[in-house]
Structure 1
Amino acid sequence: MTTLLPTTTDGHGSVGTDAASTADVTPARGVCLTGGGALVRALAAHGVTDAFGIPGTHNLEIYRHLRPHGIRHVAPRHEQGAGYAADAYARLSGRPVVAITTTGPALLNIAAAVGQAYSDSVPLLVVSPGMPLRHPRQPTGLLHEMRSQTDALRGVAAFSHRVSSVDETGAAVARAFTLFRTGRPRPVHIEIPLDLLETIEPAGAVRLAPPTGRTAADPEAVARAADALYTARRPVLVLGGGARAAAAECLALAERLSAPVLTTANGKGVVDESHPLSLGVSLHSPAVREWLADHDVVLAVGTELAESDTWAPLPPLTGTLIRLDLDPAQMYTGPRADVPLVGDARSALGTLLAERPGTAASPALPASRAHADVAALRTARDDETRTRDARWLPYLKAMREVLAEDAVITSDSAQCCYYGALPHLPLSPSGRYLHPTGFGTLGYALPAAIGAKTAAPKRQVVALSGDGGLQFSVQELATAAQLGHSLPVVVFDNGGYGEIRDEMAARGDAPAAVDLPAVDLSALARAYGGHGTVVRTPEALAHALATALVTPGPTIVTVPEETPR
């Protein structure tokens, strides 16, 4: 009997042969594959070209098929790092990517990254083996055994799908990509029983996610929104991460209405932050929140308007609230919308712009007045925190002068990031700022920078972190060194967990467990195969950053901060 060889793409559009699968297909039974082969075939069919993960005893059948199907692989040093890297890759590129773990502890290691991706609406696909199909419910002591992987991942993912046949594997992948393409992007988990990974069964043709688009907002609701906006005396736009694909439409509408623009952390840079209508990431400012409450129409696009965006309860809005979101659930959670718009942001905003082509030529406030109001509010915002934020401003200004317009900054849950860079490091739509909002994980910046650099190797990528957060994932310096990409890691070192230290002091408590022994981060970087330096002035930071951007491998640039010890 002749054995048929399944054909695969090599990642560049040419067709090759999966030599590892030569025994998996027979003409008598049609296409037969192992569970691992069916999984990787389905991933490649949906456009996956890159994967992050760590091989283990139970997932080797997945790894066997990656190269023949043209899927490149990056191996971080910890599964949480794999998850953060994949998260950043997906945010930056918009392309599908997969994170691979083995069973048990490996899957739990990536759970924090899955939770972060859920919070920030990132289409992360995690695949793992699971216990065998007929594994007894009573524990047997099998390697990596746990009561239920799917129950654990359901708590942080949109869904966790355990397949029961080789053919179902392709359907599970199609289900994941249908969610990614049509609904609010969320992370998902696919579990393949470890015995099924090695089992050869009929797989049928590849199942593909249907080529359906995202929902269009109701035309009558769009018309109501247009009436409210075009007759508003003082309209304002609040843009979240869901507005990113509609950056041009957001700017056009803001300029037509002379409407100031606020963004959340995930919406940072959707409208150029140097634009005279932009207030940037300012929802945390008491002055800005009070100002926002007094507007007669607020258009919120792709944002939950959550406490993680405002850092305090949002004050009651006295005017009309229009909420535009892809997720219908946002219309009955958070602030109640007077005009709910459920659908694709770019489509709905395009319709809004076309609704009354000439009626907004003379907005309620002249553009010059709106620009002056925004400038005054920026000053009021900065005055509130001038004492706290002053330590970072000269360094952030030095970074901005060195970085290209389209540079990517990956961020951590560190004071230098959420107090410093979010409001004070301006970006345009061509740049990106990737921040772990909502879930607020630590250790995101370094592995996320690796993922961003994998997705866009020709763009400048800089990780920005504190010394405490960096040490959650500092082992990924080894990954960065292995890849050889130029990767600056700017670390503001305040000797521990500065935010928690300040919160303890504000409560009148004696600081406890927040002061960390000094670490020679430069020496640590060199030990991992990278580079390191310490700078004490903004000018020195600018020079070190410029050098690190053209030096292969990671470079830790440490900026010491004074601490209260």
Structure 2
Amino acid sequence: MTTDMTGGRALVRALAAHGVTQAFGIPGTHNLEIYRHLDAYGIAHLNPRHEQGAGYAADAYARVTGRPGVAITTTGPALLNIAAAVGQAYSDSVPLLVVSPGMPLRHPRLATGLLHEMRSQTDALRAVAAFSHRVSTVEEIGAAVARAWTLFRTERPRPAHIEVPLDLLTETAAAGPVRLAPPAVPATPGAGASAAAAEALRGARRPALVLGGGARAAAPECRALAEGLDAWVVTTANGKGILAETHPLSLGVSLHSPVVRRRLAEECDALLAVGTELAESDLWTTEPLALRGPLIRADLDPAQMYAGLPADIALVGDARETVRALLAGLGADREAGAAARTAAALRAERDAETAGRDARWLPYLRALREELAADAVVTSDSAQCCYYGALPHLPVGPEGRYLHPTGFGTLGYALPAAIGAKAAAPERQVVALSGDGGLQFSVQELATAVQLRLPLPVVVFDNGGYGEIRDEMAARGDRPVAVDLPPPGVPPVDLSALARAYGGHGARAGTPAELADALHKALRTPGPTVITVPEEPVVRPEEPAR
């Protein structure tokens, strides 16, 4: 049935038809026709204070719900503001849809100085998204949205951008019938490849599994496979918690550990990698894993079979269907126990190699874990307390989530991501974990967190600046430059007081016990609570003689 409507209404209608009930964004002069129709189609809206925050919130919403996150921007600078979040979603395979207005359909090629005019929004977003689609008719809008959902359902999920020219947003024209993406039909690997993989795993003396974010929907099957094989299980940052990190076979997030990589190379005679790139961001080195047995890669993306470390046996398909096929081909379980005993010793060896660096965070992380429910969501930042501390040392199970900006490695993710996670699951505990440098990339989102009127602790380890970069400069023998926040002679920012200024709450935790008390209260107090954990005083080098 053909219906006349504006492009803005056609866009919102198409989003609602695909099950969208929540959007994030900021109204602007050029996108008001989109906002006009949100209420009528039952789409709630949350307005962060910056488009980058909207992107991170929509990203976390998608990770927690398993449904695509939607962000609305206006033209020009607003769209560029969200580009970093789009890049992060691309890196972490998150289904994020950004919708925006664009220059009018009949806009001249030569610049005219129209508000927010830029040379090509689609080219800019195409550089960080899976695709950027500029529609040319009102009727095409529905097809563009269906195209995005087809990507999300049938391919490796990655962000997409749809641009609707300004004149089409307000123009009334035939919109055509609602276009719906086809339902997903899980892809299954070939029977021959599955049989070869099952045989390799069955015949291995010491098989092991590496689980990435692409394995999350197959968590029960992956556990059954690990137990049936009596195999070590290592996860990437995005796969954290797919197998409970308290499970006897779990080595947790450990691909970056030299001792774990060495033991895999020396002892593992068959490795199954499910839903992971095995990338530098997983290994923390450009050196690929050294393996003495076959590498079996299972991934929805066929390109992963040849990227980085090529597969000896390639299983292209849905993770759950793939692991189920392997389980069916394994036959009787082997005797359990040997891998669990060696895993415990290997975990201790892994922790010993970084004890001097990581010990400062461990008591605080234990206090954090004891206060959190099993299904709590922890959002993370590119901060030392997160990638050195929480990633390997904060146990998470499949009922909980740990959201980390892997790969692209953006700063400022934790707070707006926590807002998106809380919007997705208001009944679950959500805690943001950050450093003082990363928090200040998006600290304005405290105002958004106040709007939620829901408990949202923000735990900030304050080391007085960009600690990682300060350490790297020192390791090079350089005098640290521009890494102290604030610089010498300037009073430090009181982050807890800043939270109160936004209408939230603030606390200071100088000991693990004080963190536990502050967190206990914050989880029961509506609004954000910034809990500052001071780290060792920054040792500032003396100024050189002039």
**Does TM, normalized by the shorter one, top 0.5?**
yes
Report if aligned partners of 1:32, 1:200 keep a CA contact under 8 Å in 2: yes
The answer for the alignment partner of 1:428 in structure 2 is 397
Counterpart of 2:350 (choices 381, 404, 412) is: 381
**C-alpha displacement of 1:367:** 2.7
**C-alpha displacement of 1:95:** 1.9
Residues of 1 paired with 2:150 and 2:51: CA distance? 25
Counterpart of 2:208 (choices 236, 243, 246) is: 236
Letter in 1 for 2:476: R
Secondary structure at 2:5 match in 1 = strand
Map 1:168-317 → 2, pairs under 5 A: 168-294=140-266, 295-312=268-285, 313-317=287-291
1:355-374, Cα deviation, whole Å (9 max, x unpaired):
2332xx33xxx532211211
Counterpart of 1:146 (choices 114, 118, 126) is: 118
Report if aligned partners of 2:67, 2:95 keep a CA contact under 8 Å in 1: no
| Structure 1 residue 92 corresponds to structure 2 residue 57 | no
The answer for the alignment partner of 2:383 in structure 1 is 414
Residues of 1 paired with 2:14 and 2:2: CA distance? 17
Report if aligned partners of 1:404, 1:460 keep a CA contact under 8 Å in 2: yes
Map 1:114-133 → 2, pairs under 5 A: 114-133=86-105
Residues of 2 paired with 1:558 and 1:193: CA distance? 45
RMSD after superposition: 0.9
Report runs of 4+ in structure 1 exceeding 4 Å deviation. none
The answer for the alignment partner of 1:529 in structure 2 is 503
**C-alpha displacement of 1:30:** 4.1
Residues of 1 paired with 2:499 and 2:311: CA distance? 50
Residues of 2 paired with 1:173 and 1:71: CA distance? 15
Residues of 1 paired with 2:330 and 2:344: CA distance? 29
| Structure 1 residue 454 corresponds to structure 2 residue 429 | no
Residues of 1 paired with 2:186 and 2:130: CA distance? 18
Percent identity of equivalent pairs:
75
Report if aligned partners of 1:322, 1:340 keep a CA contact under 8 Å in 2: yes
Residues of 1 paired with 2:394 and 2:94: CA distance? 23
1:129-159, Cα deviation, whole Å (9 max, x unpaired):
0000011111110000000000000000000
**C-alpha displacement of 1:211:** 1.5
Residues of 2 paired with 1:348 and 1:382: CA distance? 33
Residues of 2 paired with 1:494 and 1:564: CA distance? 10
Letter in 2 for 1:564: V
Q: Which runs of 5+ in 2 are unaligned?
A: 487-491, 541-546
Report if aligned partners of 1:181, 1:214 keep a CA contact under 8 Å in 2: no
The answer for the alignment partner of 2:27 in structure 1 is 55
Report if aligned partners of 1:214, 1:344 keep a CA contact under 8 Å in 2: yes
Report if aligned partners of 2:186, 2:321 keep a CA contact under 8 Å in 1: no
The answer for the alignment partner of 2:539 in structure 1 is 564
**C-alpha displacement of 1:214:** 2.9
Superposition TM-score, scaled by structure 1 size: 0.93
Counterpart of 2:77 (choices 105, 130, 135) is: 105
Secondary structure at 2:405 match in 1 = coil
Report if aligned partners of 1:183, 1:214 keep a CA contact under 8 Å in 2: no
Secondary structure at 1:180 match in 2 = helix
Residues of 2 paired with 1:369 and 1:247: CA distance? 22
**C-alpha displacement of 1:509:** 0.5
Letter in 2 for 1:223: A
Report if aligned partners of 1:289, 1:314 keep a CA contact under 8 Å in 2: no
1:323-351, Cα deviation, whole Å (9 max, x unpaired):
00000110121101000000001011111
Further displaced range: 43-52 or 313-322? 313-322
| Structure 1 residue 553 corresponds to structure 2 residue 527 | yes
Letter in 1 for 2:276: T
Residues of 2 paired with 1:305 and 1:73: CA distance? 37
Counterpart of 2:302 (choices 328, 341, 361) is: 328
1:221-242, Cα deviation, whole Å (9 max, x unpaired):
0010000001111100000000
Letter in 2 for 1:556: V
| Structure 1 residue 134 corresponds to structure 2 residue 122 | no
Secondary structure at 1:65 match in 2 = coil
Secondary structure at 1:367 match in 2 = coil
1:448-500, Cα deviation, whole Å (9 max, x unpaired):
00000000000000000000000000000000001111000000000000000
Counterpart of 1:318 (choices 289, 292, 308) is: 292
Residues of 2 paired with 1:183 and 1:75: CA distance? 30
Secondary structure at 2:3 match in 1 = strand
Superposition TM-score, scaled by structure 2 size: 0.97
1:410-442, Cα deviation, whole Å (9 max, x unpaired):
000000000000000001100000000000000
The answer for the alignment partner of 1:544 in structure 2 is 518
| Structure 1 residue 345 corresponds to structure 2 residue 319 | yes
Further displaced range: 313-322 or 52-61? 313-322
The answer for the alignment partner of 1:25 in structure 2 is none
Residues of 1 paired with 2:338 and 2:130: CA distance? 45
Residues of 1 paired with 2:539 and 2:229: CA distance? 48
Residues of 1 paired with 2:291 and 2:31: CA distance? 52
Residues of 1 paired with 2:239 and 2:330: CA distance? 26
Letter in 1 for 2:149: F
Number of aligned residue pairs: 532
Letter in 2 for 1:84: Y
Secondary structure at 1:125 match in 2 = strand
Residues of 1 paired with 2:513 and 2:20: CA distance? 42
Report if aligned partners of 2:133, 2:161 keep a CA contact under 8 Å in 1: yes
| Structure 1 residue 463 corresponds to structure 2 residue 436 | no
Secondary structure at 2:499 match in 1 = helix
Residues of 2 paired with 1:151 and 1:136: CA distance? 17
The answer for the alignment partner of 1:482 in structure 2 is 451
Report if aligned partners of 2:299, 2:317 keep a CA contact under 8 Å in 1: yes
Residues of 1 paired with 2:292 and 2:328: CA distance? 27
Residues of 2 paired with 1:356 and 1:250: CA distance? 13
Map 1:76-91 → 2, pairs under 5 A: 76-91=48-63
**C-alpha displacement of 1:291:** 1.0
1:238-272, Cα deviation, whole Å (9 max, x unpaired):
00000000000000000011000000000000000
Report if aligned partners of 2:56, 2:420 keep a CA contact under 8 Å in 1: yes
The answer for the alignment partner of 2:489 in structure 1 is none
The answer for the alignment partner of 1:17 in structure 2 is none
Report if aligned partners of 2:122, 2:133 keep a CA contact under 8 Å in 1: yes
